[in-house]
Every structure is written in structure tokens, then in C-alpha cells.
Amino acid sequence: INSISALCEATGADVSEISRAVGMDDRIGKRFLQASVGFGGSCFQKDILNLVYLCETYGLTECAEYWNQVVVMNDYQKKRFSEKMVAKMFNTVTGKKISILGYAFKKDTGDVRETPSMFVVRDLFSEGAKIHVYDPQVSREDMWSEMQYTCGISPSNTPRLDESVVTSPDVYTACDGSHALAVLTEWDEFKTLDYEKIYKSMAKPAFIFDGRNILDHEKLREIGFEVHAIGKPDPNVFDDL
């Protein structure tokens, strides 16, 4: 809010009015303080970058740099998730089947604009993984369209991309024979899957990477999964847990 106060002084706005308006959004609070693989969608990043532009226009360099770090941190979070997957899977995913559960940037939509899943898929593809994507609302065409627009890669200009990224008709097919699954959209159906059935069908050791912190990690570990999640301690590292 201090950075906003500087912008208010430069533009003639009232910081108290900004605070009042923001405070009317009931998502501000614990509902907004949920760690994840990163945010997507067309609006939030665009709004942040517009704020950066405004600050730069009024010569508020420090404020501009502060808000730009929101975008930088989001990019870092997506990259960190991909790198953690590779590191935990013995530093290589080459030739391994990895299931991506959820491609939309949030649940209950087929919107893939700036979706974190796209960047994770891109990173895993570059590492040589065989990727199987399941999302109940996202089409293969939309997936490629956004990847072409945002990342500049598509089956037409990137060898092996089309054959390396499979879109599965259901979640159990996507996970069959997989070395790891990554939950990247908080679809409610992922909370109630038959994970014992999924575990039996997967290669071992079977990894789960929960990018939305929506699963019961202890129960999954009891089944036999090696579970890694955003901002959660790893029992393999912290043996006092």
C-alpha cells in the first residue's frame, strides 16, 4: 500500500479510497494467501504490468520495480516447480511418462491464457519427458493455440512436440504407467479420485507433485506415493516430521 500511496500522490488519487475499495473484496485475507504453482489468466498480470507502466510514467522507479517483482516471482514459482519435479525424480525425466492433471489456469473454466500448466509442460518437454495431459474442459486445439501465442512453440515449429504431449480422455488413462503426476489446476474431481487404483497402475516409485495443495498428502503417503507440494516440508529431508 505504500507503493500505491506514492502513485496516488503523483496522480491526485486518495490512498484511503484505494484501501477502502480493495478491502471490499472478501477474497483479501486467508482466501488470497494460498501458495500455488503460480497465477495465470489474462487479467491479473496485465493489470500488474499496467501498474508498472503507470509508476514508470510518473517517475516512481522504486514502485515500478516493486510491482514488476510480482510478475518476476510468478515466473520464478513456475520454473521452480518444474525444476523440483526433475530434481526429486533423480535429476532426470527423460523418457519418463508424467501426467499433468489440469491445464486451465483455474478450475471451472476452459481458459488457458497464461496458465502455469503451459510453462510446466514446456519445461518438462525440454527435459525429454513424455507428457500426458488431462483437463475436463480444455481442448487440445486451445492448448496448442495458447502455447504458440505465449511461448512461441507449437507442433508446426517444434519437432517431437505433438508426439511428446498427449491429451488423455480421462484421468486414469493419463496416469496409467506414469512415473509422476502433477496437479496443476484445483479441479474438485482431483480431490476424490481413486488414488489406490492410480498408485497400482503407476511405475514405482510413484511421485505426486501437488501444485495447488488440494490433496490429502498423509493419506497419499500411506498408499505409497512420494508426495511433494508447494511450501510443504519433505519428510525425506526433515526426518523429525
Q: Would you please indicate which residues are annotated as catalytic (active-site) residues?
A: 43
Grid coordinates in use for 215?
A: 490433496
Helices (H), 131-216: 140-151, 161-164, 171-175, 195-201
- Supply angle C-alpha 117, 120, 75, rounded to 5: 90
Backbone angles phi, psi at 175, to 5 degrees: -90, -15
Are 144 and 137 in contact by the 8 Å Cβ rule? The answer is no
Distance CA 88, CA 84 (A): 6
